[in-house]
């Protein structure tokens, strides 16, 4: 028996995208099978969601999502998972914006005197720096590594987040 369509409480389904490749005017395209269309929020719905977000809502729980879905259903087709995803994405992307802003702030703040390099804090640069992933390092690690810190530091050029990237000649 093949597992029946798994779906959690909000209707999220794993590996659900059924696509069919074909060509349209000499271009290979993928067409969703089964009339699959993604949710396209109405202006009304977005307004409500943003209001909630501004009001402080970030990760609504099941009950909240049900409630919101019910409400937004009045303005167009919508499912719980749409609400769930909306908050996930909106939160994440707001955070990205903030992070980028913070870095800009910092890099401008801190480099009081780096005219040459300071000038190109472009979107790309920030995107590169954004990668502040969660790091594996624990304090234990750090302490153990203390001896080898120099090495580590040198090796971090590409791996670690550069907090204050604009450093001219490596003052100490």
Partner DNA sequence: GCAAATTAATGATTTATTCAAG
Partner DNA sequence: CTTGAATAAATCATTAATTTGC
Q: Which residues bind DNA (CB under 7 A)?
A: 12-17, 19, 25, 27, 30, 32, 36-41, 46, 56, 58-59, 81-82, 85-86, 88-93, 95, 130-141
Tokens representing 161?
Answer: 């987040």
15 or 113, CB closer to DNA? 15
Binder of residue 148, out of a copy of itself, DNA, none (CB less than 5 to 8 A by kind): none
Of the CA atoms within 13 Å of residue 153, those in its CB half-sphere come to 6
Cα–Cα distance measured from residue 114 to residue 136, given in angstroms and rounded to the nearest whole number: 32
Q: How far is the CB of 154 from a copy of itself (least distance, A)?
A: 10
138 or 169, CB closer to DNA? 138
Tokens representing 73?
Answer: 């259903």
Is residue 45 within 8 Å of residue 78, measured between CB atoms? Answer: yes
68 or 81, CB closer to DNA? 81
Of the CA atoms within 13 Å of residue 144, those in its CB half-sphere come to 5
Binding site for a copy of itself (CB under 8 A): 8-9, 48, 51-52, 54-64, 66-68, 70-71, 74, 95, 98-99, 101-103, 105-106, 109-110, 112, 121, 123, 126-135, 137-139, 142-143, 145-146, 149, 152-153, 156, 160-164, 172
Alpha-carbon distances, residue 84 vs 3, 53, 136 (angstroms): 24, 12, 28
């Amino acid at each position: 028996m093949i597992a029946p369509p798994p779906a959690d409480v909000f209707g999220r389904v794993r590996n659900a995208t059924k696509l069919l490749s074909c060509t349209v005017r000499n271009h290979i395209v993928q067409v969703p099978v089964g009339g699959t269309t993604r949710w396209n929020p109405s202006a009304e719905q977005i307004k409500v969601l943003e209001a909630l977000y501004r009001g402080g809502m970030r990760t609504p729980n099941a009950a909240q999502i049900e409630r919101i879905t019910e409400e937004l259903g009045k303005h167009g087709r919508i499912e719980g998972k749409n609400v769930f995803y909306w908050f996930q994405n909106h939160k994440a992307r707001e955070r990205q914006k903030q992070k980028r802003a913070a870095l800009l702030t910092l890099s401008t703040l801190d480099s009081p005197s780096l005219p040459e390099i300071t000038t190109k804090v472009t979107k790309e640069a920030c995107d590169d720096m954004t990668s502040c992933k969660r790091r594996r390092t624990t304090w234990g690690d750090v302490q153990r590594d203390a001896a080898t810190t120099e090495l580590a530091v040198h090796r971090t050029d590409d791996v670690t987040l550069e907090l204050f990237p604009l450093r001219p000649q490596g003052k100490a």
